[in-house]
Structure 1
Amino acid sequence: MSLTRPDLDALPAYVPGRSVPGAIKLASNEVPYGPLPGVVDAVTAAIEGVHRYPDMGVTALRERLAARLGVAPERIATGCGSVALFEHLFRVTCLPGDEVVYPWRSFEAYPIIAATTAATSVRVPNTADHAHDLDAMAAAITERTRLVIVCSPNNPTGTAVRKADLDAFLDKVPANVLVALDEAYREFVTDPDVPDGLVEYGDRPNVVVLRTLSKAWGLAGLRVGYLIGTPEVAGAVRKVVTPFSTSLAAQAAALAALDAEDEMLRRVALITAERSRVVEAVRKVYPEVPETQGNFFWLPLGDQAAEFAAQCERAGVIVRAFQGDGVRVTLGTPEENDAFLGAL
């Protein structure tokens, strides 16, 4: 007799981007320019206090984020990356059998979290151009639906939801269904028609926005994410967060990174400029590459995905294959991107 849940046998494990010694890694949506100024010093200083527990309320960081975003600290919850906050959000919204509607393909953690919280996944296929099918997502909402996820820009396809479409979608969602806007890649958005979820929808009681410091802010290895919702929703999430999950070093690094916003924006501008250059070059070989607003782009290669990734690896470049669907390629430095184009 199994000592663990038998339904988990069929659940695929989360697959991180691979690292191969000596190869260029373009598989994990990391930024390539190292920690922001001040982060290493802040972490080094924090290490001297690691024999003490960190502030469980993450007070200093929540207050800093609140001031930066123009919201009350009571509306913010922090966690071990935005993916952990999604786990907590599932817990505070869903009982066993409740439904969560989300697009597919999208962030691969969504179905894993749903299964482990005993929620029922309702996957809505993306459109032919690899974007959310918001009409179909709205139609998929039932009386059992407790949570709907909109990932914009969408990981791994890079497509983003424009304001007019999101306005119409949110107007269709019942007031008792929570909509989670996953904006992990918000800082890379350059399309003016793609809304800032907090600015445009932060006053809606059934909307919560999730963001991370792992991407543009360069803290992927320290795991800091945050959520903005009503005081009721954010407070419920803070109740179920694993105690002390935002470590002393992570909090110190986050505060230092936020002090370096100008440098973050400079680096983001480098990446978005490379995005335009590289995608234009890739489309000369694969015209089907969709528009992207993340720090990555999508090659819809279907069953050829694994072989394409293997060929890239043989050329010394690691990309992320989603077999049967496509390949996600992270933007790196110009030299790294040129190596990918050479492999292509």
Structure 2
Amino acid sequence: MRFIHLLALTLLLAACSSSEENELTRLEDFYRRARQYYDVGDLPRAQQQASMGLALEPDHPKLNLVMGRTLLQWRDLKHVAAAREYLEKAHDLDPDYRTTYSLGEYHLRYAEFLLGESAILEARLEEMAGEEGESLADMKTRAETAQGKAEDHLNQAEEFLSETSTAIPDDRFTMRLLANCYTHMERTDEALEVLQKLISELQRSRRYKNERLALQELNLPQEDALRQALRADMDMEIQARGLASTIYLDSKRYPEAVQELTAILNLNPELSHEYFNRGMCYYWLGDLSSAAEDMQVFVRKTDRQIESKEVSQALDIIQAYKNRRNVPLAEEATPTQG
């Protein structure tokens, strides 16, 4: 009889162990599929797999992280707001640089929605200047509340992103978000410092990849993957230099803005609005010839309507140069009809 009891206990323990192992395997399968769908941008399926896994184990740190990051990637207010619960739980369960970065991104994205709401309300208030009424007072209160909440979220974003930057100093994604955060906080010197570090890191990465393409024998899939990574580096550098040029323009530091815009156009000459911005910088610097040259390229490339403010400004500058020189430019600029 004692043998039978021992055998039954052994079988029960084995069954419990097998059940636990099966559940762990299922959780890992849910996480693996959710991560695969997330990596290829299939957000509905990533969210579905993460949700099914969390129904089994709500305190699974990796499933909470992938669910929160998936919700962030929808990039609308409803989903971004819903990401907070999962990202905070992931960070509480496993406070590493991944969960810290993700919380920083959440606070930055949510702050940007609030800043957008505040800007819209402020614009409406300017349109209604001189009017009175409860609706105006309410609108002003809502704008101030949104601005205040945005500042709180920006402070939290900076805290988390700075912590991540300390843990992984050369991470380009952290640097990009931290520069955006400083820009929204109007801490432009710190934003420019981070942007220059980011640009240097991207240039180093591009040199390395170009050397590999030139010197190593790669099969076709390897070469394609490396070229895609190189393109991603260039795109991020264009974004970083674009933000830097905007900061310089807002500060009326036109020579530095020209330098950044020229670097952008060297990376991608097919862009159009950068020619307009550089042309305006040349105009404000008193270089009408260079301004007219850039504006001519802009109106040839842009898809904006001829009645748009930018195209009108460009044509005025071109005409001012022609009047001063009293000689037609080599090639007439014709705006593209939208």
**TM class by shorter-chain length?**
under 0.3
TM-score scaled by structure 2? Answer: 0.26
Q: Looking at CA atoms only, which structure, 1 or 2, has the larger radius of gyration?
A: 2
TM-score scaled by structure 1? Answer: 0.25
Q: Which has the higher strand share?
A: 1
Q: Which has the higher helix share?
A: 2
Larger relative contact order (Cα-Cα within 8 Å, sequence gap ≥ 6): 1
